[in-house]
Every structure is written in C-alpha cells, then in structure tokens.
Amino acid sequence: MDRGQGVKARGRSIQIDFYYLGKRCRETLKLAPTKANLIFADRLKSTILHEIAIGTFSYQNHFPNSKNAALGLKLSNQTVSQALDDYIQSAKRTCEISTWKNYRSAIEHHLKPAFGDIRLVDLTTSKIKSWIGGLSISNKRINNVLIPLRTIMNDAFADGLIERNPIQRVGNLSVRFDEPQPFTPAEIYEISKVLPQQGKNLIQFACWTGLRTSELIALEWSDIDWKAGLVRVRRACVNKHVKQPKTKSGERDVKLFPPALEALQDQKQFTYLAGKEVFHNPRTNSPWETDAQIRKTMWQPALKRAGVQYRNPYQTRHTYASTLLSAGENPLWVAQQMGHKDWGMIRKRYGRWIPEVDSSAGGKVMQFWSQISHKDITSV
C-alpha cells in the first residue's frame, strides 16, 4: 500500500519515487514495510525533495549503491580549466568587449596556471586562499581576477555538480583608493605651456569638465550643445572599442564653463570640419585610439618638460571635482556632473575639499536649547 505520494510498499521492501534533474528516480529501501518504516521513508522522501529544492542534494550520499549514484555528478570530472573555457565563451555574448578581455586575461594569466588541472570537486578554500596570499598584484585586481572563478563555482554548486562551494568562504579583499592629487592652477599652466595646441585644448577641457580619458577620446562634435552650453556624454572608447557608459548615471549632460568652451572654440580649427571626434593626436592628426596612447606619447613627456610631479591623466578629473567643491558647489550636483549615481563617492573621495556650507550651522539648535534649558524639559 502507498503511505503517501512517492512512497509505497513493494514486497518486503519500500520504494521511494521522485524526480531529479528531469529524470524519474525509483529507489528501494531494504526495510520491511511496517508502519514505523513507512513513516521513516516518508520523512526521507521529504528530506530529499527539500535538498533538491535548495540545491544540496547528493545522490551518492543517500544511495551510494544505486545505478543513479553519479546522477548530478555527471560533470564531476570537469576541470577548472574546462569550466573556465565554457564560461568565457558564453560571457562573450553578455559582457562588454573590454570586460570580456579583462576576464580572459585573468583566466589565462592567473586562474588556469593556478587551478586549471584541478577538478571542480577537488578545489578547496585553503588552495584558493593560499594562492591569493602569494599574488603580487593589487587587491582590486585580485577581486576582479576572482570573478570568473566565483561564477563557475557558484554555477557548479547551483547545478548540483559539487557538494560544497569553496569560494563562498573567500571574501573580496579590501580596496583602498589612492588619495586624489589634483593639479594646482600653476601646474596646469606649466603643463599647458609645453603642450602642442591640440594637447593644451584636450587637457584644459578635461580639467573643466571632469570627463574620463575614455570619454574624451570618444567625444564627437555632435555631442556639443552650443546653445544650452552642455556636453552630452553618451559613449566611451575602451581598448579601441566604443561603448555606452556602464551605468545610466554615466550618461549625463555636463555644464561647459568658459575655459571648456574656450578649449572647444580653439579646437575647431583642427577637427571641426571633419565632423567626428573632437580631439586628435597632434602627432598624427588622427583621432586618439587609447588612453595609453595619450599617456605615453603626450602626457608623460609634457609633465617631465614642465617639471611637474607625475600624476596620471585621471587626476584632471580630480582637479575638476576639487575645483567645484572648493568653490562651494552643491556636492550632489557635482556628483551628477561626474556621472556618479549619488554623492557617496564624492563624500568619500573629496570630503576634504567640501567647505563648511554655513559657519553658523547649528546655531538655531543652540538658541532653542538656551531658551528651554531653564524650563522643565517635560513642558516643552
């Protein structure tokens, strides 16, 4: 007789019937079909269904001698390298090309050499942590390198291919942002003096708009709204590939202050008639291709000739932020101009440039307190 759905007596034993990975499974328990044993079998069936639902079911643990014992472990012999190959192939369809290239680099230069020949089921938390301890790259890079490994291990666990997920106990490393080092007006002046005119226009525009180098490279004349006095940031060029900003806040309209407008007006003589990219490489009279090209062929030599302490071109973005905040502009508005979704990043990175909004702030509270201090507080 059946005690419940999927549990029934079969001769002198009990049969459990359930579905796993789309397959109907029938397993026989060598137990006499007594009332107590049927209750046990019913509870076992409930446990199995629960484990299947939450992704922790192991056929081998419950029925090691079953012909279906390997079910769910059909890829248990798959190596980390094989899983990473499958991952990077599928990621090409969903990731930006620049992101995909970074993942591929992480796989080929770090993950495969360290874990490629290890089976997914044999990878341990201690192996991962030991490997991390021996790396000489930055914490931020380590966190990025771990992304493909996290993905394949999380997927393997969710699919029931591994009984435990070793990456769950490996947290991301803390990342400390470098302190912004904006340029002073005197430094910008010295740098501008040694730059060719197109280079001067580029740097002046960067310092007064806060655009990232990738956004400057992709900027086109059609993005300039002369009437409204805005530059519409809608794309970036990374590794020679033009893409949209990663976030919706990255697509933004940036106010053009007079120095930025002046740089554009002067740049017209060089590239305006071509009607495409605003800024060109003065050495080739063709559009810039990468940020590395700007850094190596123009920026580094200019700072050396100007006698200015070297900082990367991204510091022009910090220069823009610190200039606006020091002038007392609203931090939330500055965040919007820079493409941040909120002003949290502004507060963390540029807090020391935010002046006290009102030196009398808190005065009203103190006045209120002085009025009630001689009274019974309960009567207020």
pLDDT tens track for 241-294: 888 776 666 789 999 999 999 999 999 999 999 889 999 999 999 999 999 999
Residue pLDDT, tens place only, 11-54: 999 999 998 877 889 999 999 999 999 999 999 999 999 988 88
d(CA 38, CA 10): 11
Q: How many CB atoms lie within 10 A of CB 167?
A: 18
* pLDDT above 90 coverage of the chain, percent: 60
How do strand 241-243 and strand 224-225 relate by DSSP bridges?
unpaired
Which of these CATH numbers, 1.10.443.10, 3.30.70.2190, 1.10.287.1770, 3.40.50.880, describes 185-353?
A: 1.10.443.10
Task: Among 3.40.50.300, 1.10.150.130, 1.20.140.10, 3.40.1410.10, name the CATH number for the domain at 80-169.
Answer: 1.10.150.130
Q: Is 126 helix (H, G, I), strand (E, B) or coil?
A: helix
Which residues contact residue 23 at a Cβ distance below 8 angstroms, ignoring those fewer than 6 apart? 68, 71
Find the length of the chain: 380
Residues 6+ apart with CB under 8 A from 61: 163
Range with lowest mean pLDDT among 66-80, 119-133, 146-160, 194-208: 66-80
For the chain, what is the largest distance between any 2 Cα atoms, rounded to a whole number of angstroms? 97
pLDDT at 93 over 80: yes
pLDDT of 197 reads 96
Identify which of 13-27, 81-95, 202-216 has the greatest average pLDDT: 202-216
Whole-angstrom distance, CA of residue 164 vs CA of residue 358: 56
Residue identified by tokens 């798959």 is 78
User: Any idea where the domains of the chain sit in the sequence?
Assistant: 2-62, 80-169, 185-353
Amino acid at 122: D
Identify the pLDDT of residue 72: 64
Name residues whose C-beta falls within 8 Å of residue 31's C-beta, 6 or more positions apart in sequence.
Answer: 13, 14, 37, 40, 41
Specify the 3-state DSSP secondary structure of 296: helix
Question: 319: pLDDT confidence band, cut at 50, 70 and 90?
Answer: very high
Residue 90 has pLDDT above 50, yes or no: yes
Residues 6+ apart with CB under 8 A from 121: 73, 76, 161, 162, 163
Q: Which of 2-6, 180-184, 265-269 has the highest mean pLDDT?
A: 265-269
Q: Is the pLDDT of residue 320 over 50?
A: yes
pLDDT over 70, % of the chain: 90
Distance CA(13)–CA(30), nearest Å, equals: 5
Q: Could you tell me the pLDDT band of residue 366, with boundaries at 50, 70 and 90?
A: low
CA distance 281 to 273: 16
Q: Is the pLDDT of residue 232 over 90?
A: yes
Contact 346, 340 (CB under 8 A): yes
